């Protein structure tokens, strides 16, 4: 079976590496989408364990379409009853088109829906299709006249782990925090410090990774509503994930100048019983003193998207030079929307990665020496 895993644009390599570690061979990786093959129920394991994917789709089919007739016929040619029941709620969730003859999203939506329903009526030999049970969300991608039909197995985006009940003003997406941690090469034996921790996303993601807690362990997925949901199989994957947790001491610290943020971060960590693995403390970045000579500073300082905030953010980046001077042996990974962060921080990064998530554009700056 073919799968598609989605990530923010720019993070394809990190997600591909995660998949490779799970023994998948990557067929294609571009435009925030990784294509690979896997077993019939691998999406249980993928949703449970991937830290940097936004969603996991089953690829239902791929064909060329220049007209709506082609689109309809292409869907009719697919075998669909192994994925849909005779009474599922079918939702054409999103249509994305580029450089193609077909572009009218609402017409595409209705043609796809009609063709799927007609094909299922034929396969199930029924006269009418009642949409009653289970949610089946479909995405249609049309690029260069090639249609890809994808069935969402995740439901809510995978960044929603379930621990973040409270957030800061500008919370970082959990999947981007996890990507920074994996990309930087942080491991459980290393020190990790987030001097601008806000609601605690980076320290919490690090603790989950450090203890090998599967990111999807405490949430639900849409496939649990499906007609072919195998509860005992999914239970085995979950049991396996629980057995793989390695409780061990970690050296993870989160600081923020706001008391309120520290309270929120502590509460979020305690939602997953991670409070004893992370030390959160109210501290100004300017007064951070560490008992360690080496480690990782992985952080998300204020962005300053608005004009006045921008000046303030730039000042903070200048003040961050102090950290680098005082702790030169640390590795740094800093994410911000500011394209010129390096100018203010006073040195050029070893790696700069642009990450695009919807309308948000971020840059991850890494300093490795
Ligand atoms: C972009 S937010 C971090 C969001 C966080 N990654 C999350 O997911 O919630 C930046 C944080 O930096 C904190 N901050 C601003 N100036 C600071 C300073 N001088 N020292 C320490 N923290 C500061 C703010 O209170 C805010 O929580």
What does the pLDDT look like over 212-245, one tens digit per residue? 999 999 999 999 999 999 999 999 999 999 999 9
What does the pLDDT look like over 46-74, one tens digit per residue? 999 999 999 999 999 999 999 999 999 99
Residue 243 class from Cβ within 10 Å (0-12 exposed, 13-18 middle, 19+ buried)? Answer: exposed
What pLDDT, on the 0 to 100 scale, is given for residue 307? 63
Q: Whose CA is nearest to atom 1 of ligand 1?
A: 302
Q: Which CATH class is domain 2-152?
A: alpha beta
What pLDDT, on the 0 to 100 scale, is given for residue 309? 86
Q: Which of 166, 176, 198, 204 maximizes ligand 1 atoms within 8 Å of its Cβ, making it the mutation to test the pocket?
A: 198
What does the pLDDT look like over 271-280, one tens digit per residue? 999 999 999 9
Pocket-forming residues, ligand 1, beta carbon under 6 Å: 167-168, 170-172, 195-196, 198-199, 201-202, 256-258, 261, 284-285, 300-303, 316
- The rounded percent of the chain whose pLDDT value lies above 70 is 99
The total number of residues shown for the chain amounts to 369
124-127: Cβ within 8 A, 24+ apart: 124/81, 124/86, 126/86
212-215: Cβ within 8 A, 24+ apart: 212/244, 212/245, 212/246, 213/241, 213/245, 213/272, 214/48, 214/49, 214/241, 214/244, 215/48, 215/49, 215/50, 215/51, 215/158, 215/161, 215/174, 215/178
Architecture of the CATH domain 174-213+230-367: 3-Layer(aba) Sandwich (3.40)
Exposure string over 270-292, b if 16+ CB within 10 A, otherwise e = ebbebbebbebeebebeebebee
Residue 148 reports pLDDT greater than 80: yes
**SS3 of residue 315 by DSSP:** helix
What pLDDT, on the 0 to 100 scale, is given for residue 304? 77
Are the folds of 2-152 and 174-213+230-367 the same?
no
> Which strand ranges, in their side-by-side order, compose the sheet holding 360-367?
278-282, 251-256, 191-194, 296-299, 331-336, 360-367, 351-357
Atom of ligand 1 nearest to the CA of 169: 2
The DSSP 8-state label assigned to residue 99 in this structure reads: S
What does the pLDDT look like over 327-360, one tens digit per residue? 999 999 999 999 999 999 999 999 999 999 888 8
Give CA–CA dist 195/206, Å, rounded: 14
Atom of ligand 1 nearest to the CA of 167: 9
Report the run of H or E that residue 24 belongs to, with start and end: none
Domains in the chain: boundaries: 2-152, 174-213+230-367
The DSSP 8-state label assigned to residue 275 in this structure reads: G
């Amino acid at each position: 079976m073919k799968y598609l895993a989605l990530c923010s644009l720019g993070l394809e390599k990190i997600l591909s590496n995660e998949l490779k570690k799970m023994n998948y061979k990557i067929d294609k990786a571009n435009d925030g989408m990784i294509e690979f093959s896997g077993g019939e129920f691998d999406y249980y394991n993928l949703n449970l364990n991937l830290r940097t994917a936004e969603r996991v789709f089953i690829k239902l089919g791929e064909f060329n379409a220049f007209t709506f007739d082609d689109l309809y016929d292409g869907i009719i040619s697919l075998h669909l009853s192994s994925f849909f029941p005779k009474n599922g709620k079918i939702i054409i969730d999103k249509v994305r088109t580029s450089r193609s003859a077909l572009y009218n999203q609402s017409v595409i939506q209705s043609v796809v829906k009609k063709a799927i329903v007609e094909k299922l009526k034929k396969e199930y030999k029924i006269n009418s299709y009642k949409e009653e049970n289970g949610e089946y969300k479909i995405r249609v991608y049309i690029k260069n006249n090639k249609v890809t039909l994808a069935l969402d197995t995740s439901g809510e985006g995978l960044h929603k782990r379930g621990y973040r009940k409270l957030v800061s003003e500008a919370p970082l997406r959990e999947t981007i925090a996890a990507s920074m941690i994996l990309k930087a090469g942080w491991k459980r034996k290393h020190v990790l410090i987030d001097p601008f921790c806000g609601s605690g996303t980076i320290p919490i993601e690090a603790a989950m990774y450090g203890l090998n807690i599967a990111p999807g362990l405490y949430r639900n997925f849409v496939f649990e509503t499906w007609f072919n949901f195998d509860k005992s199989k999914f239970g085995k994957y979950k049991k396996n994930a629980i057995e793989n947790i390695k409780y061990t001491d970690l050296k993870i610290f989160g600081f923020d100048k706001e008391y309120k943020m520290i309270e929120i971060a502590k509460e979020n960590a305690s939602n997953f019983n991670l409070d004893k693995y992370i030390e959160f403390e109210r501290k100004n970045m300017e007064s951070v003193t560490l008992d360690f000579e080496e480690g990782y500073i992985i952080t998300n300082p204020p962005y300053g998207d608005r004009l006045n905030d921008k000046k303030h953010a730039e000042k903070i980046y200048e003040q961050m030079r102090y950290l680098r001077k005082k702790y030169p042996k640390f590795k740094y990974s800093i994410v911000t929307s500011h394209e010129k962060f390096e100018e203010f921080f006073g040195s050029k990064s070893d790696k700069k990665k642009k990450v695009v998530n919807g309308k948000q554009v971020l840059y991850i700056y890494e300093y490795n020496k």
